[in-house]
Structure 1
């Protein structure tokens, strides 16, 4: 399963990795096959303070992502495991926390939970994870009591009127639209709002088909002439052509819009994007050069 490039994301997923790749080893199946959903359990901490604390204490525990009322932030690469749900589940699951910050209104808490549901749906669509493999931390405690005894996020969800079953229904709504290549901004949020966040009919955003983004540094050496653009899409403006024998230093990888794109800094201080291989239906094509 993959996310078609026609799919429109309701929420941006920010990659701000704090944890080195492979910190918790490798997934048992080579990729995640479950999702585990958490809540922070700390009403006295903001989203930002939770992330900072987790980054400092990553040797003890960390999850892949955090959801707040106005953002989703990934702090660890989802291609690698996290330490958040016990030794058994960690080998299989991508994991996300939602803030329980008591300073948020009920509507804001619902917005945060809705973003958590959206992130879960994106992971299921991107990695081909079955929806019946979406678990709460409480589920994991029942399944593997020798590993963990947490009961989140059930009580926090209940405090704002969201049951676990209704959360999973929201995940399915987003998932069904994503895999069909549809517009997730049309789905009503858990707080009852239909307001779009990422795109609209008049949007000039050319980055809506990106399904994965992560920081990575390297040097790319093309083995043929490749056109670079000012956004990671073939609809964007051409800014350069790189030929065999040339190279460029990149800092970020974007996956989507039919290709794997490397983002680099142009001489004018703006970003350039060069496609280095095809990415279609969840499969990667042959690279048009080498990376060192």
Structure 2
């Protein structure tokens, strides 16, 4: 995130080809970054849920747990990873007077404030409307593609979590669009950073929509592929006592341990390919060695 203040209003690539191909309804030019992501089926990082230090808990204009969409930010810091940014803003937000819900780079997606509540990232009006996520800068093509995949997945997941439609310019907006709409900030991210890679918000909206539609339809970002995942099914999860659903791991001796730095967002769908009985509960495998207990499963198919 930009290290300057984002005040609470007055209160405070180049395209290399011309052939078009389709990935499940998303048309992109053959050699653009979206095609690279989808063609290689880049898998987004799982979202980590951590408790940040931001101590101002305020609901959106429509109430707690009722955001109207997501603001796309870019950090404008060429040398900071998501971990770096999380540490910096947890330590310095009182003097910076700014904070967001999550930071994303090519390796991690780290959520540090419950998206049920607003943050200080884009001016007073937007802060009371939108979830806000910062994309960290990277330095090579593959890393940029992976960071976009992580960011698009985070955004699509949040839209689904809060039962929001995917409408570019309305439920998914850039900080630049927010600045132009509400005139409370003068930032133009992520447009300049995207342009360095021959990329723009229209292409990013295409990627978000692709993930969103597939997640809504099948729970899988690349859709149901009967040729290689015929046994995979989908479950939905929710934890009424916290902002995320906990995960556990099992070792070779079938001993269970809690996973401390990861969790699943409430009211989201997940694919699982195995299940096991342990200590009176059924556990479902949603990643290589990450399992969710049946107590948090609201339905599966």
Q: Tell me the TM-score range normalised by the shorter chain.
A: 0.5 to 0.7
Name 1:17's counterpart in structure 2.
51
Name 1:279's counterpart in structure 2.
298
- Structure 1 residues 65 and 272: alpha-carbon distance in aligned structure 2, compared to 1, 3 A threshold: closer
Name 1:172's counterpart in structure 2.
209
Name 1:134's counterpart in structure 2.
172
2:214–2:222 contact (8 Å) kept in structure 1: no
* 2:93 match: secondary structure: coil
Structure 1 residue 109 displacement after superposition = 1.7
Name 2:158's counterpart in structure 1.
123
Name 2:59's counterpart in structure 1.
26
Q: For structure 2, which runs of at least 5 residues remain unmatched after alignment?
A: 1-42, 244-255, 259-263, 265-271, 285-290
2:215–2:223 contact (8 Å) kept in structure 1: no
RMSD value over aligned CA atoms?
3.8
**TM-score after normalising by structure 2:** 0.62
Among 109, 113, 127, which residue is 2:144 paired with?
109
- Structure 1 residues 210 and 65: alpha-carbon distance in aligned structure 2, compared to 1, 3 A threshold: farther
In structure 2, distance between residues paired with 1:212 and 1:37: 26
Name 1:99's counterpart in structure 2.
136
In structure 2, distance between residues paired with 1:92 and 1:240: 43
Dislocated runs of 4+, deviation >6 Å: 212-215, 230-233
1:65–1:95 contact (8 Å) kept in structure 2: yes
**TM-score after normalising by structure 1:** 0.63
- Structure 1 residues 44 and 215: alpha-carbon distance in aligned structure 2, compared to 1, 3 A threshold: farther
In structure 1, distance between residues paired with 2:158 and 2:205: 14
Structure 1 residue 149 displacement after superposition = 1.0
Alignment of 1:68-83 (within 5 A): 68-83=105-120
Structure 1 residue 66 displacement after superposition = 1.2
Alignment of 1:25-104 (within 5 A): 25-30=58-63, 31-59=66-94, 60-101=97-138, 104=139
1:126–1:211 contact (8 Å) kept in structure 2: no
Please identify, of 108-117 and 172-181, the stretch whose mean Cα deviation from structure 2 is larger: 108-117
1:15–1:214 contact (8 Å) kept in structure 2: no
Among 172, 181, 187, which residue is 1:143 paired with?
181
In structure 2, distance between residues paired with 1:213 and 1:170: 29
In structure 2, distance between residues paired with 1:131 and 1:173: 10
1:40–1:99 contact (8 Å) kept in structure 2: yes
Structure 1 residue 201 displacement after superposition = 3.5
Q: For structure 1, which runs of at least 5 residues remain unmatched after alignment?
A: 1-8, 188-199, 218-229, 243-256, 258-270, 282-292
